[in-house]
Amino acid sequence: ETSYENLLVEQHGAVTLVRLNRPQALNALNSAVLEELITAFAAFEADPTQRCAVLTGAGEKAFAAGADIKEMAQKPAADFYAEDTFSRWTSHFAKAVRKPWIAAVNGFALGGGCELAMMADFIIASDTARFGQPEIKLGIAPGMGGSQRLARAVGKAKAMEMCLTGRMMGAQEAEQSGLVARVVPLANLLDEALKTAAEIAAMSPLAAIANKEMVQAAFETTLDQGLLIERRIFQVLTATQDRLEGMAAFIEKRPAVWQGK
Ligand code: CO8
C-alpha cells in the first residue's frame, strides 16, 4: 500500500476508491495532488484485481474548489510555459487511464475541480453539488479542459454563459444539461457511486475498456471515423474468450464467469 499525503485510497473489492484529502483547502488541486493522482491511478490501472475507480472529495463541502490559487498566484509566466502547466493532467492522468472511473461530486466542483470531474467517464453528483468555471473572476480562463469539455457536455449556450459570468450550476441543472449522469442525496452518494462502480467492475474487463474507448472516440473524431472505430473494436472483442462465455451464459441462462481473456 502506498501512502499519500493528499489522497485517501482504499480498495472495495474490485473498486478503487480515491478521495481528494485537503479539506482545509476545499481539496484544491496543487502539483502534489496531481502527482499523487497520477501514481494512484497508475496503480489502479496496473492492478488486475481492480476494475473500476471512484474519485470523490473528502469532507462534505467540496469535490475540489479548483487549481490551487495560492500555489500559482506568484508564479512567473515563463514557468507556466516552460512547464507546460496542466499538460500532465491530460498526458499522464486523463489519457493514461483505460479502465473506467466515476467522479462522485460531493459539493463544489469549481475551475480545475469541475475540469477534473469532467475527465471522468461520467459524473454522479450529490444534490449539494455545484459546478462552475469561475476563472474569469480571477482574470484568467480555464486551463485543464473546462472550455472544451464543458462545451461538449452542455453545449455552447450554457458553456459560454458559465465561462463568461463564472456562475455556478446546481446539481439539478447539471443533470438536465447532460453534465452529470445522475443526482442522488449527499448521504447516499458514496454508496451509489461504489454500487455503480461494482456493477461495472463485474463486467468483462475487456468489454469495459472497449466500451469506454469507443464512447471516447465520439468526442475525438468524425461520425464516419467513429463508426469505423466502433466496428473495429467490436470485431476485436469477438476474438475474446469472454464473448464466447457471455453468449454461452446467456443461452444457458446462468451468470457469466469472466476471465478477461
Ligand atoms: N485554491 C487554493 N485555496 C482554496 C481554493 C483554491 N482554488 N478554494 C478554496 N481555498 C481555500 C480558501 O483560501 C480557504 O483557505 P483559508 O481558510 O486558509 O483562508 C479555504 O479553502 C476555505 O475556503 P473559503 O473560506 O473561501 O470557503 P467559503 O465557503 O467561504 O467559499 C468557495 C467556498 C465559494 C468555493 C470559495 O472558496 C471559492 O470561491 N474558491 C475559489 C474557487 C475558484 O475560483 N476556483 C477556480 C480556481 S482557478 C483554476 O482552477 C484554474 C487556474 C488557476 C490558476 C491561477 C493562476 C493565477
What average pLDDT is seen over the chain? 97
Chain centroid, CA 259 distance in Å: 26
ipTM: 0.95
Burial class, 18, CB count within 10 angstroms (exposed 0-12 / middle 13-18 / buried 19+): buried
Look at ligand 1, atom 37, and give the residue with the nearest C-alpha. Answer: 65
The model carries a pTM of 0.97
Q: Does residue 1 register a pLDDT over 70?
A: no
User: 65: Cβ below 6 Å to ligand 1?
Assistant: yes
Grid cell listed for 178: 447532460
Cα distance between residue 17 and residue 23, in whole Å: 17
On whether the CB atoms of residues 28 and 75 are closer than 8 A, the answer is: no
Protein residue whose Cα sits closest to atom 57 of ligand 1: 73
Contact indicator for 113, 65 with CB cutoff of 8 Å: yes
Q: Which of the residues 57, 107, 111, 112 is marked catalytic? A: 112
Report helix angle 112-119 to 146-154, nearest 10.
60
Name 157's Cβ contacts closer than 8 Å, sequence gap at least 6.
none
Ligand 1 mutation pick, 6, 69, 83, 106, max ligand atoms within 8 A of CB: 69
Confirm or reject: Cβ of 67 under 6 Å from ligand 1: yes
DSSP per position, 222-260: -HHHHHHHHHHHHHHHTTSHHHHHHHHHHHTTS------
pLDDT for res 172 = 98
- Ligand 1 within 6 A of CB of 72: yes
**How far is ligand 1, taken at its centre, from the CA of residue 27, in Å?**
9
Residue 235 cell numbers, joined? 470485431
The set of residues, in sequence order, having a beta carbon less than 8 Å from that of 220 and lying 6+ positions away, is 226
Q: Is the CB of 89 under 6 A from ligand 1?
A: no
Q: Which atom of ligand 1 is nearest to the CA of 69?
A: 1
Catalytic residue among 115, 129, 208, 246: 115
Cell of 107: 459539493
Other CB atoms within a 10 A radius of the CB of residue 74 amount to 6
Q: Which atom of ligand 1 has the smallest separation from the CA of 26?
A: 21
- 156-209 pLDDT, tens per residue? 999 999 999 999 999 999 999 999 999 999 999 999 999 999 999 999 999 999
Catalytic residue among 28, 65, 67, 256: 67
- The pLDDT of residue 110 is 98
- Could you identify the atom of ligand 1 that is nearest to the CA of residue 135? 48
- What integer pLDDT is reported at residue 2 of this predicted model? 80
